Chains A and B, each alone.
Chain A
């Protein structure tokens, strides 16, 4: 790095308007990082566009999905892959249509959603509380760092026999795997958020002899919230992946076990139809968590710089 261009306010330069995603808190969260602005997100203060606002972003998103469908349609038709193993998109869609008429399918979607929702709730609650606690106490933070790094790369999948042994094959096992994977992003984001409290604010709070509770409420919490929201968004997609994986391996009812059944019956189009549903749920979860984030952080002029610890 031979040229140091001076940055205002750390890495992300210009303060962005409320409603855009806050910058990523650092932290090695076990999940995908920040994602680009939501389709249709209002970006006042954004940059000049290369080509006007003729097409809204949401429409572009739909176009992107259509392109993907087109590629899936063409690949087997031109013989790049055998349609026996990757049927054209139209076959998948018709299998999906057949499925959507059955009650069992909606049950499966609901079961997966339940596993995702409960698991995410537990992760967020546990990650927030532990993150606040560990982040606020210096000695705890130092003492737990190595353990956290040790536990994080252990794949949930390796815990399948253990989960089944302790919790059987129902919802609890699914939750264990979901929570084990999605807890880390929340915890780590929270730790970074607590770290990022402005020293001046901290000292001021100390001067005024604010109680610990008041300090938490008025100083730490507002700072950590954007970080937490990013953590929640990361955890949300990880939780979905793990819910389906758990169903696939353990056989708890849900989309995953339907996929396993389709696979072992050699019902290829049905299998892909279920995979499409899983992916669509992922898009939905992303839209949902962004909407929540936008609401929660509406007061927040997202102009904090990232902490990369």
Chain B
């Protein structure tokens, strides 16, 4: 989907006259081709975050699973949803990666996105989840009840980490008396060290780093929302899905094959990490990987949505069906 000339202009005027100057200077950006009507493979760009969870895509590219489906896949790193979601909506990315809670909220606000596949799953151990694990250094901070009145760092407020922490407190009957502050994940070990926060909701490779400095896990994690629960997804825009159903279908097939393969061959998935991250030597052998089993159903997705409703981030479960079917 590419922008109509007029809408592009209105956008430019709405912001500033400058945008037009830029547009004039560099022609049009906007949507790249996604149709793939011509010969050769269909070129698609994925909006991703440089984290461990997306290893299957890189593995699938290496293994040729996408080429099998006549797809030429490129990934582009982003800092997060602020760029990935608008990138997918505008057609600059054909697909994007996001945690599911953000997608529920987006759907609740009528952002035209559609889920195409599971992204990654929580582990089955509350004390060992690579994608989201609460860690602390204070020896007196061991149980969920100890969190009362404490300050906890999360990388984004009003998102999946709120849901993980609030739902676990609720499950354990602990009053929600925890202060959440935003700290970027790479800065969490330092903040914890300096005592600026009492605990951090952190992910790999930083979980291992905190552990190495004598930190320990608390039973609050993505796994404590539900064992093996899918917490993230690959998504596309409604417009792209309507226009290119066959590309979506081929991409989903290749992606699911990659996810299954990565889930079954953790060693190969680990080896892939070093191809797209700059991990320190040896880290890729020890990090905790998420699960990647792609088969899912509405109920599984809805159980996370229910926790999101309970945390007060969305009103009802409507976004689930819309995310799956719009």
Contacts and interface: CB of A to CB of B under 8 A. Distances in A.
Query: In the complex, are there CB atoms of A and B closer than 8 Å?
Result: yes
B238 to A, nearest CB: 15
A162 interface: yes
Contacts of A180: 16, 18-19
A145 interface: no
A54 interface: no
A110 B22 CA distance: 20
Interface in A155-175: 159-162, 164-173, 175
B3 to A, nearest CB: 7
Contact of A85 (B18, B30, B190): B190
B18 A165 contact: no
A75 to B, nearest CB: 14
Interface stretch (A196-204, A257-265, A291-299): A257-265
A176 B189 contact: no
Given A257-B77, A266-B280, A249 B82 contact: yes
Interface residues of A, number: 41
Contact of B30 (A122, A126, A167, A249): A167
B278 A270 contact: yes
A29 B286 CA distance: 51
A166 B19 contact: yes
A251 B8 CA distance: 22
B157 interface: no
A271 to B, nearest CB: 8
Contacts of A266: 186, 205-206, 209, 279-280, 283
> For chain A, what secondary structure do more than half of its interface residues adopt (helix, strand, loop), or is it mixed?
helix
Contact of B22 (A176, A249, A260, A261): A176
A176 B189 CA distance: 35
A267 interface: yes
A162 B15 contact: yes
Contact of A164 (B90, B279, B283): B90
B21 A126 contact: yes
Given A172-B22, A173-B29, A151 B16 contact: yes
Contact of B279 (A82, A159, A265): A265
B19 A261 contact: no
Given A85-B189, A180-B16, A168 B79 contact: no
- Of B16, B185, B193, chain A has the most CB atoms within 10 Å of the CB of B16
Contacts of B82: 160-161, 249
B90 A168 contact: yes
B87 to A, nearest CB: 5
Given A176-B22, A260-B77, A169 B189 contact: no
Interface string B197-235: 000000001100100010000000000000000000000
B186 A164 contact: no
A200 B47 CA distance: 60
B19 A164 contact: no
Contact of B193 (A82, A165, A172, A251): A82
B86 A161 contact: yes
B93 A169 contact: yes
B208 to A, nearest CB: 9
A261 B77 contact: yes
Contacts of B21: 122, 126, 179, 183
Given A84-B189, A168-B90, A249-B79, A265 B30 contact: no
B49 interface: yes
A221 interface: no
Contact of B50 (A122, A159, A171, A260): A260
Contacts of B280: 265-267
A248 interface: yes
Interface in B226-263: none
Interface of B: 3, 8, 11-12, 15-16, 18-19, 21-23, 25-26, 29-32, 47, 49-51, 76-79, 82-83, 85-87, 89-93, 184-186, 189-190, 193, 205-206, 209, 213, 277-280, 283
Interface of A: 82, 84-85, 118, 121-122, 126, 151, 159-162, 164-173, 175-176, 179-180, 183, 248-251, 257, 260-267, 270
A-B complex: 7 closest residue pairs judged by Cβ atoms:
A168-B92, A167-B29, A172-B29, A251-B78, A265-B278, A267-B278, A165-B86
29 contacts: A82-B193, A84-B189, A84-B190, A84-B213, A118-B26, A121-B25, A159-B15, A161-B85, A162-B11, A164-B83, A164-B87, A166-B29, A167-B29, A168-B30, A168-B31, A168-B87, A172-B23, A176-B19, A179-B21, A251-B47, A251-B77, A251-B83, A264-B51, A264-B186, A264-B277, A265-B205, A266-B206, A266-B283, A267-B278
